[in-house]
A and B are shown apart, each in its own frame.
Chain A
């Protein structure tokens, strides 16, 4: 009985402390972050659209042009990660530079660079997908489920 009371008291104390912590912890500057994310994410997407239009202008069809544009964006994401710029952008832009495909490139190149010292097999090879891995796994699972629904309905 005493033990239970003590536990209860402890829990109340912890909850009160959590409230105090929440009230003192600085909140992220939401509006500023959203603006940065909107502008940077938007610019990346506009650049992507520009690439697609450019490739269509060269005579590719729409699907091919989109593939080419993706390849260029992935390369640029990797390149700017390599020269140490992309993380500086991500610090401010947040989701704006994470969500476009350049962010995906960043999430693969960053660990690959970092774990090069552990060798090409257990370093680069194994650690390359620590961040992007879950995206791939659940992307494929979702694609499978959607495919299954599509197959049942037709």
Chain B
């Protein structure tokens, strides 16, 4: 049976089960709104390691191991790991995966990496190419800041539209059998670029990509927004979230009552994160903690998770190019 639906979507015939998830965060996230949904909170952003990059690798390794431990299997039972992060050449991922010694495919989708790796993992499992797949991602505030912006100790003022890169990592284990919510369908996004250039305001740049994928998902699957208990986007922040609601309204769909952005759920107002959270770990720590918990406790039954990524680099920004963006979606149902 062909699993493709419409233009960009797939509906799985043997929906893979998310048998476990794990997340780890830095101290600032630990003091945020979702503090009770984190498996481990580090005391500082270095965690007694030599560099921020090493710390990020540690977080990813820890998250994958913890997710595997939680469902009482061993790392040897994982047929393939799909993972990625924000740093150049997936530095943190590669050093984390070096120690795990499992088959590995690197994934880069900027902040959409969590959903992209879950989507691909689900395809591997449903296609019969693997029994258990782990998908993971990480980001680190200081490591990202030094690569994309300025040194951390520089006394620069951030504009109110800027978002705060999350320090953390999340991992999921997808299995053929087991107890847990299933990934029932997915929509692969295409690159959308509305010509925005300001890397200090990525939520607005990514919002059209999120809307494009959302719209396509509904078209392809024949579903309506009300089908889902909640729709989550990855890291659009306060401004991007409003834009998504407005743009969807223009298309005649009202999602204002069951839509939230992971980037708006992590930090408290007084933590001075400005427009919200961003980074690969934004959607990862929220999905692998809060959302998974809600699904397991049946407080949410049908969830659509959109990973949103802005695919610019420091080079493209300095050469005055606009920000190409992408969004992928997975539907997770209990």
A→B interface (CB under 8 Å): 13-14, 17-18, 20-21, 24-29, 33, 81, 84, 86-87, 89-94, 97-98, 103, 106-107, 109-111, 113-115, 117, 130-131
What are 19 A-B residue pairs whose CB atoms fall within 8 Å in the complex?
A13-B194, A14-B195, A18-B195, A21-B196, A24-B243, A28-B159, A86-B153, A87-B154, A90-B156, A91-B155, A110-B150, A110-B153, A111-B151, A111-B154, A114-B153, A115-B151, A117-B50, A117-B51, A131-B154
Contact between A81 and B50, CB atoms less than 8 A apart: no
**How far apart are B177's CB and chain A's nearest CB, in angstroms?**
45
Known contacts A27-B160, A91-B158; is-contact A21 B153 (Cβ 8 Å): no
Identify which of B146, B156, B238, B239 contacts A21 (C-beta below 8 A).
Answer: B239
- Asked whether B233 is an interface residue with its Cβ less than 8 Å from the other chain, the reply is no
Contact between B194 and A91, CB atoms less than 8 A apart: no
Question: Could you tell me how many residues of chain B have their Cβ less than 8 Å away from some Cβ of chain A?
Answer: 27
Identify which of B51, B194, B246, B275 contacts A26 (C-beta below 8 A).
Answer: B275
CA distance A20 to B239 in the complex (A): 10
Name the 5 nearest CB pairs between A and B, nearest first: A90-B155, A110-B153, A114-B151, A94-B157, A110-B151
Contact between B153 and A25, CB atoms less than 8 A apart: no
CA distance A128 to B60 in the complex (A): 31
B→A interface (CB under 8 Å): 50-51, 146, 150-161, 194-196, 201, 204, 208, 238-239, 242-243, 246, 275
**How far apart are A99's CB and chain B's nearest CB, in angstroms?**
11
- Give the nearest-CB partner of B146 in chain A: A114
> What chain B residues lie within 8 Å of A91 (beta carbons)?
155-158
CA distance A24 to B246 in the complex (A): 11
Contact between B155 and A103, CB atoms less than 8 A apart: yes
Contact between A87 and B153, CB atoms less than 8 A apart: yes
> What chain A residues lie within 8 Å of B204 (beta carbons)?
21, 24-25
- Give the nearest-CB partner of A94 in chain B: B157
> What chain A residues lie within 8 Å of B208 (beta carbons)?
17
Contact between A24 and B242, CB atoms less than 8 A apart: yes
CA distance A19 to B156 in the complex (A): 27
> What chain B residues lie within 8 Å of A81 (beta carbons)?
153, 155
> What chain B residues lie within 8 Å of A94 (beta carbons)?
157
> What chain B residues lie within 8 Å of A115 (beta carbons)?
151
**How far apart are B39's CB and chain A's nearest CB, in angstroms?**
28
- Give the nearest-CB partner of A27 in chain B: B160
Contact between A14 and B194, CB atoms less than 8 A apart: yes
CA distance A114 to B239 in the complex (A): 31
Contact between B239 and A24, CB atoms less than 8 A apart: yes
**How far apart are B196's CB and chain A's nearest CB, in angstroms?**
7
> What chain B residues lie within 8 Å of A25 (beta carbons)?
160-161, 201, 204, 239
Most central of A24, A84, A110, A130 by chain B CB within 10 Å: A24
Contact between B243 and A21, CB atoms less than 8 A apart: yes
- Give the nearest-CB partner of B159 in chain A: A28
CA distance A32 to B146 in the complex (A): 28
- Give the nearest-CB partner of A95 in chain B: B157
> What chain B residues lie within 8 Å of A107 (beta carbons)?
154
